[in-house]
Amino acid sequence: MTRLKISVQAADFDLAAEYAAIATQPGIGGIGCFIGQVRAGSDLISLTLEHYPGMTEKALHAIAHQASQRWPLHAITIIHRIGTLTIGQPIVLVLAAAAHRHAALSATQFLIDWLKTDAPFWKQERFSDGGSHWVEARQSDQQARQAWDIPLG
């Protein structure tokens, strides 16, 4: 059984509390983690994250389910923030815990790769000159997601 926590929220998350909540599950030997944050760019002031309420949570559950089918995971945590975030603020937290490091780190990578392409979030950038634009999806994200399904032999 994989302990699952999924949250879409405006508030910041508490890395230490989320880690502590899963680290004490019996049988865990490794915990992988990824935190994405607003990266400074030329004249960028903030990002505004929009999502599709209802569908987002379903999509994140489906992604977590996929991960738990691929690796023996003790716990998965996905927290994604919405609303307006300034440079350096955290956007997303992914945690995956397993008996061994390979499963924990592979699942962490998988979860963030799939979240990028399969969870209905959109980012709008705002600049110091007052302008704004919607971030375009990157081909590399689609490739990273699809790479998980390339047969190895």
Partner 1 sequence: MITVLYFAWVRDRVGTDAETLALPAGVTTLGALLTHLASLSPRHANALARPELLRAAVNQLFARPETPIAPGDEIAIFPPLTGG
- Binding a second copy (rule: CB under 8 A), the pick from 8, 49, 108, 114 is 108
Applying CB under 8 A, does 107 fall inside the site for a second copy? no
Applying CB under 8 A, does 12 fall inside the site for partner 1? no
Applying CB under 8 A, does 148 fall inside the site for a second copy? no
By beta-carbon proximity to a second copy, the closer residue of 55 and 135 is 135
Integer CA distances (angstroms), 118 to 23, 27, 60, 64, 101, in order: 27, 30, 8, 11, 25
Q: Pick left, alpha or beta for residue 60 (phi over 0 → left; psi -120 to 50 → alpha; otherwise beta).
A: alpha
Question: What is the C-alpha to C-alpha distance for residues 116 and 50, in angstroms, rounded to an integer?
Answer: 14
Which spans of this chain sit near partner 1 (rule: CB under 8 A)? Answer: 36, 49-52, 54-55, 58, 80, 91-92, 101, 112, 115-124, 134-137
